[in-house]
Structures are given as C-alpha cells and as structure tokens.
Amino acid sequence: MAQSNPPFMSGVPELLVLRLLARKEMYGYELVKAIRVVSEESIRLGEGVVYPALHALERSGALRSRRKTVNGRARVYYRATAKGRKRLAQLTGEWKRVSGGIRAALGTGDA
C-alpha cells in the first residue's frame, strides 16, 4: 500500500495538501480521498502519514484547524491560511520548474 518514495516525493504531499486545502476546508480522511482523485490514483501514501504533514503545516502557520461536528461526527477540519497560499505559490513554481526541466530532458533523450 505505502508506495511512497520519500527522497523523490519530497514536497509533493505538501504541495497537494496545500492545493486542496486552499480550495476547500477538509478533514483528514476527506483530504486523502481527494488526493487519490486529483492524482488519478498515481500517488498512494500510507494514509496515516498525512497527519504528521497536516500537523507540521499547521504548526508552521500554513494551515489552520478547527473541530467541527457534522452529522453527529466530530472531526478536525483544516484550511490553508494566507501564509499557506503563499507557500503553495512558491511550491507550485518550484515544481513547474523541475517538471519542465525533466520534460525537456526526456524530450531530448527520446529524440
């Protein structure tokens, strides 16, 4: 199940978490399901590791959490803060630059 490659995947879960939580407030399980959908199941993490990532992002001020009861279930909901959106813009730029470089390299290699 846990097919993560921490050295290569560094920053990717953070990018996805911030991207999704900048759009909508979500709780952990909802977020994991959303990651599977938006990544078309290509990114599969042990679901438990999302919580250290969420807590660390919250601690750094990128996320804010609140406990909310919906349909009788109390859950911790997370949303991106202004600082988190700034971090998202930075990570998105870095990722686009890296992926552009890899695409260019692969294109050159194929030619």
Residues that bind other proteins (CB under 8 A): 1-2, 27-29, 32, 45-49, 51-53, 55-56, 59-60, 73, 75-76
Q: Smaller CB distance to other proteins: residue 51 or 103? A: 51
Instruction: Report the nearest approach of other proteins to the CB of residue 65 (Å).
Output: 9
Q: Smaller CB distance to other proteins: residue 33 or 96? A: 33
Task: Give the CA diameter of the chain.
Answer: 59
Torsional class of 72: left (φ above 0), alpha (ψ -120 to 50), beta (otherwise): left
Strands (E), 1-111: 26-27, 63-70, 73-80
- Tokens, residue 111: 């030619």
Instruction: Report the nearest approach of other proteins to the CB of residue 43 (Å).
Output: 14
Instruction: Report the nearest approach of other proteins to the CB of residue 3 (Å).
Output: 10
Q: How far apart are CA 58 and CA 93, in angstroms?
A: 22
Q: Smaller CB distance to other proteins: residue 12 or 49? A: 49
